[in-house]
Structures are given as C-alpha cells and as structure tokens.
Amino acid sequence: MSKIPKKWFVLWLTWLSGAGKSTVADNLYNRLTDEWFTHIERLDWDIVRENLTKDLGFTKEDRKTNLERVAFVAKLLSRNWVWVISTFISPYETERAMVKNHVSNYIEVFVNATLETCEDRDVKWLYKKAREGIIPNFTGISDPYEAPANPHIELKTWEESIDESVKRVYDYLVNNGYF
Amino acid sequence: MSKIPKKWFVLWLTWLSGAGKSTVADNLYNRLTDEWFTHIERLDWDIVRENLTKDLGFTKEDRKTNLERVAFVAKLLSRNWVWVISTFISPYETERAMVKNHVSNYIEVFVNATLETCEDRDVKWLYKKAREGIIPNFTGISDPYEAPANPHIELKTWEESIDESVKRVYDYLVNNGYF
C-alpha cells in the first residue's frame, strides 16, 4: 500500500464462460491492491446487473447496450485515476473496439481456453443448460464469438497455472510503464 | 490545485427545470476545480443520455431507472475519491432516498425557485412546449414534483445571486468538514 502508479488503465478480459476471466481478474486485483496505492474497481456482469443493466438479456443488441453502459462507467473511473479490471464475454470485435474507443489505455486480455476446457469447468452447469436449450444465446454453443484479432495479451489457461496467467498480465503492466 | 480534501461527497441538486441547478453546479465545479486537488465529475441528463440511459424517457418508471443507474455511477465515483456534482430534476422523494442509500455523504441541495420564476427563464421553450402538450410528463406542468422534506441546503434562486447560491453550498462543505 505504498507505491504510486504512473498510468491508469482499463484491463478488458474477454472469452468464453469458464475460460478463467474472473479467476485471473480476482487474483490480479488482490495482488495489485496489496502492492499499489490506488483505487481499483472490478466490473463484471454480476456487479452491473442490479443497478445498471437489469433490463438486458443476451441478444446481440442487448450485449451491445450492456457494453456501452460499462464503457461509460469504465471511462469515468479510469479518467479519475481508478484502475479498472473488467470481465465480460464481449463476443463481438466491433463492441470491444467501441469500448477501446471510449477509454484511455485499453488493454485487451484474450483469456484463451478451448471450448472443451471451458465446458469441462462448467461448475454452474451453464453449458449443460445451454446444450439442452434451457439457456438461449449462450456464447460458444448457440451464439457466436469472434476471437480477438490482435489482443495485447493472450493467456492460455488450459496449460498455464493461475499464478502464471496473473504474472503475465502483471509483467505486461510493468513492461509498458503502468507502474 | 493544491489543497487535499478530507472527505468525498455526492452533491445532489434537485428541483424544476429552470430552477438554476446547472448554473449553480457549473459555477461550483469551476470554483472547486480551481482550489482543490481532487477529481470532480458532473452528472446530468445530457451527460448520461448517450451511453447510459438512451432507452429512457420521462415516465415515472423511466425516471426511477435513470436514477438507479446514476446512483450506481455516483457510488463508484465517490468511493474512489471523486467529488460528484449531480443535477437531475429527480421529482420523487422515494427515488432521492434510493440515491441517498446508495452513496456515502449524500448532500441534498434543494434549488428552490417558484414555478413562475422557472417558467420565466424558459430559454429552451420547454415550458411553452409542455403547456402546449408537445412535451409530455413535464415536471411542474404535467408531472408531479415532491419537494424535499429535509434537504441539507435550500437555495432560493429567485432572490439570491448565483454567487450567493454557490457560496452557500461551498460554506456548507467547509462547515461540515469536507475540506
């Protein structure tokens, strides 16, 4: 709780449900909170759902609107010296580009894992329900995902440990002058 | 740009269109920005409309949803050491109470002016259009307003100068240990 950062950022972790976005994000959040004197906010679907996006589902249009609202919040936070760590599936390249255009220092983290790996980790039985048609518009099963063409960081969570993934994001921040 | 604040707040200016909310808020914003080393954000309908609330109109339900989203944003900002100065008509006591419950250090500013005064200041012809029925759900004309029962500050913009109103809010912040 002593060192002051040099720059602020919006870390944008993207990929399928079960890829490990939240796990990496939460571990990184804890490490950064311990080491750095700045504010940090986590943004994800559960956090914004109650007050910001409760009218929205998972159609393409709703996903777009969701990310527009999140991008607005991320912009306000990051320009006021808050580090933002966001975890949204955000399956469309155009919408990730929209977020990038809204904020300064957008860092895209492609939390890659095969669909098979994600489905194996299906702790909430979401994939099972999607396969059975109980959950519609489920990214990877019944809805498309456009993989990032040019992410700043690509994690390979099927072969890296969580600590390795977190370290790779942390090292990126160091190597790019964020602290 | 040198002095550090002691506390953060969400200043909530409320009352009819034309009461002077934005004028007081903008003047206060400029004074605080000049004197204090902290981040400050202004929130109002125009600022949030494009990315946060473009689906919303002026029905009672939409006004409620608008304020829920704004309260969420104000909460995130103020807990990260950003002063927030909000100007929304926010006509219902229950919804102002909702905002108050969401944020720390909510300060309600009743920017009082008679309906006649507000209507005389109708620079955008909003009251004229509301009287003619062109704009529906217009607070004070075709929609109700519940005056704050117990505001922290009540301005009387029909008899105070802008400088006097700004000074009264500023003095409140001084006298209540915000800086």
In this predicted structure, the answer to whether residue B2 has a pLDDT above a threshold of 60 is: no
Give the other-Cβ count within 10 Å of B69's Cβ. 22
Write down the pLDDT at residue B38: 85
How much is the average pLDDT of B4-20? 93
Specify the 3-state DSSP secondary structure of A38: coil
Question: What is the C-alpha to C-alpha distance for residues A24 and A22, in angstroms, rounded to an integer?
Answer: 5
Q: Are B108 and B68 in contact (CB under 8 A)?
A: no
pLDDT of residue A158: 92
Please provide the size of chain B in residues: 179
State the nearest Cα–Cα gap between B71 and chain A, in angstroms.
Answer: 8
- Tens-digit pLDDT profile for chain A (179 aa)? 458 888 999 999 999 999 999 999 999 999 999 998 889 999 999 999 988 999 999 999 999 999 999 999 999 999 999 999 999 999 999 999 999 999 999 999 999 999 999 999 998 899 999 999 999 999 999 999 999 999 999 999 999 999 999 999 999 999 999 98
Interchain contact, B73 vs A68, CB within 8 Å: no
Candidate CATH numbers 3.40.50.300, 3.20.140.10, 2.60.40.10, 3.30.70.980; the one for domain A10-115+145-175: 3.40.50.300
Q: What share of chain A is helix, strand, coil (3-state, %, to 5)?
A: 40, 20, 40
Say how many Å lie between the first and final Cα of chain A, rounded.
Answer: 13
**A2, A90, A104, A161: the active-site residue:** A90
What is the tens place of the pLDDT at every residue in B90-143? 999 999 999 999 999 999 999 999 999 999 999 889 999 999 999 999 999 999
- How do A10-14 and A106-112 pair as beta strands? parallel
Geometric angle at alpha carbon B35, from B33 and B36, rounded to 5°: 70
Rg (C-alpha) for chain B, rounded Å, is: 16
**pTM confidence score:** 0.92
Instruction: Find out whether B157 and B24 touch, Cβ atoms under 8 Å.
Output: yes
Q: Tell me the ipTM for this assembly.
A: 0.90
Contact between A41 and B65 using a beta-carbon 8 Å cutoff: no
Please say if A78 is a catalytic residue: no
- Judging contacts by C-beta atoms under 8 Å, the chain A residues touching residue B55 are 55, 65
Could you tell me which residues are beta bridge partners of residue A112? A156
A49 inside 8 A of chain B by CB = no
What are the φ/ψ torsions at residue B114 (nearest 5 degrees)?
-70, 155
pLDDT in tens, B29-86: 999 999 988 899 999 999 999 889 999 999 999 999 999 999 999 999 999 999 999 9
User: Tell me, what's the pLDDT at B54?
Assistant: 92
**Greatest Cα pair distance in chain B:** 51
Report whether CATH 3.30.420.10 matches the domain B10-114+147-175. Answer: no
Of B156, B164, B149, B157, whose CA–CA distance to B108 is shortest? B149
Q: Which residue has the tokens 């005064």?
A: B117
Whole-angstrom distance, CA of residue B5 vs CA of residue B3: 7
pLDDT of residue A2: 57
Domain boundaries, chain A: 10-115+145-175
Q: Is the pLDDT of residue B1 over 50?
A: no
Output the pLDDT for position B11.
Answer: 98
Q: pLDDT at residue B158 above 70?
A: yes
